[in-house]
Amino acid sequence: MPTKPLILITNDDGIHSPGLLAAVQACLPLGELLIAAPVVQQSGVGRAKPSTSGGRILAETIEVAGHSFTGYAIEGSPAQVVEHALVELASRPVALCISGINYGENIGEGISVSGTVGAAMEAASVGAPALAVSLETAPEHYFSHSLEVEFAVAAHFARHFASVVLRQALPPGVDVLKIDIPKNATIHTPWRWTRSSRQRYFHAIAPRRVHLSDPVPMGFRTGFDADQLEPDSDIQALAVDQVVSVTPVDLDMTARVDFGELTAWFGEGR
């Protein structure tokens, strides 16, 4: 009998996130699961690998749909969790990494801030195809584990794209699929190929404090300029048209510019 593919399920919201459990349940029929996630909430850390991370790996029992799994809570960033999982926990090469399902959308130019995307890119950097799956939520749920958020539809799309990738891999030049599901989506909601918008979606708001030394975190709001929005962007798809946005992401972040034009601009290298 052929060996079931090994699927790494991870996130940036932490080992106890219902979104992680939804991803586990979605992938139950698809292969052998390796579950590893940060001990605590790690949203917004991108692909960071802090030298201060403890790196301890703590085994926990995870119950999903009548099944018991050993999951691993790891002291580290999402990218470090993936490193530990691939190097220390995986018994064989991982066929697919699914990062999510995240509380909150990851769209616009700020995807490099996303720990969900960071974990997926970490897996992709060592050759494992990856999905970064996020569900649009109200901002008050971005850092929560709220049971008010329903992940069934997002899980449906995660399972669909995972099945395709496991069957026929990702196309050449694609390392990660970034999938963002509207909060009001159903399993019949269309999905669309998109590009990451160059617009900023999360905007900083100055914190209210009396003294600069007061420990107050930066606030934020969401928003975009609809008149300047790229029609094929992830923001247009999710926030305006309310369809599922699927963005192919490449680890090569080189600007799409002709090197001859750069030479004309800056001159020849010496």
173 falls within a domain? yes
pLDDT in tens, 129-181: 999 999 999 999 999 999 999 999 999 999 999 999 999 999 999 999 999 99
Residues forming beta bridges with residue 71, ordered by sequence position: 35, 60
State the Cα–Cα distance between residues 197 and 124, nearest whole angstrom: 21
Q: What is the CATH number of the domain that holds 158?
A: 3.40.1210.10
Domain tally, the chain? 1
Residue 27, CA atoms < 13 Å, CB-side half-sphere:
34
- For the chain, the average pLDDT equals 96
1 falls within a domain? no
Residues forming beta bridges with residue 193, ordered by sequence position: 246
pLDDT in tens, 90-101: 999 999 999 999
Q: Which residues form the domain of 107?
A: 6-266
Give the β-pairing of 57-64 and 67-74.
antiparallel
